[in-house]
Amino acid sequence: MLGRASTGDCKVLYIGMSPRPNRQQICKVLTLSVDHQWRETGCPPARVMTGHSGGAAAAVKGVAYFLPSFLRAPAPGNKGYIMAYDLEKEVSRSASVPAPAPGSKQVVHKLSHGLAELGGCLALMYGDEHEFMELWLLVDPDQATWSMQCTITAPYRYQGVQGSHLGLDMAEPLWLLEDGRIIIWMWMSGERPHAVLCMYDPRTMAYTDVADMPNYTLAGVFTGSLLG
């Protein structure tokens, strides 16, 4: 994971497995443009999700957040948790961040989770079989205060050339516009896996497809300058 510490240093955080027989997760940190070797910083307090799947981690204002690897599907009223790593101190925080309870009152059989950075806040996306999605923002990390940004109850219907038979497999928020619209990366499964960049308007509860991405599996946001 690539993130920026509170001092402005750009750092790479690596989480891998130690050799047998321990097989524990270990953390290593590398500061770009400063040093040329990894620093081991111990083990996370709980095993976290790693790999190339989107939504498992996000870096926000000097802190890297991770979903636990064995995340349960909480019923309404129950809370999960999110692990945090301080990029400046290069240490895992002992206290996890409690996740908000899903606001939906319906019975949750399969609840998916995704993390992202939106508007300078940690964002958590809940989804249940894609019948509904909830977008929460961590507005106060110190007090673990969450605010629900919106509830998406309208199911996404793909309008592209690939046909409407593709099933939505993952939704990852990428950007929050000033007018409240949300840019979402939609990944759909099927005979030919397919991705779509779309925009959702909470006021009208409508999706707008922005771009078909048939040959892409991951997406991110570049916030730097293209002018060098």
| DSSP string covering 16-27 | EEPPTTT--EEE
Looking at mean pLDDT, say which of 4-8, 25-29, 36-40 comes out highest: 25-29
Helical spans, DSSP H, in the chain: none
Backbone angles phi, psi at 11, to 5 degrees: -125, 155
Q: Are residues 147 and 162 in the same domain?
A: no
Q: Are residues 9 and 82 in the same domain?
A: yes
Task: Decide which of 138, 153, 168 is a domain's last residue.
Answer: 153
* Residue 47 neighbours by CB distance under 10 Å: 16
Structure tokens at 92: 């895992």
Place of tokens 């709980």: 46
CA separation for the pair 125, 136 (Å, rounded): 6
Q: Are residues 112 and 137 in the same domain?
A: yes
- pLDDT tens for 131-189 read 678 889 999 999 999 999 888 876 677 665 555 555 566 778 888 898 989 998 887 76
Maximum distance among all Cα pairs of the chain, rounded to whole angstroms:
55
Is the pLDDT at 191 greater than 70? The verdict is no
- pLDDT tens for 64-103 read 999 887 554 444 444 578 999 999 999 998 888 998 877 7
CA separation for the pair 185, 196 (Å, rounded): 6
* Residue 42 neighbours by CB distance under 10 Å: 13
Number of structural domains found in the chain: 2
* Residue 200 neighbours by CB distance under 10 Å: 23
Please give the residue range of the domain that contains residue 202: 156-215
Looking at mean pLDDT, say which of 13-17, 35-39, 130-134, 193-197 comes out highest: 13-17
Beta bridge partners of 167: 189
Q: Are residues 144 and 167 in the same domain?
A: no
Mean pLDDT across 214-219: 72
Q: Which tops the pLDDT comparison, 137 or 126? A: 137
223 in any annotated domain: no
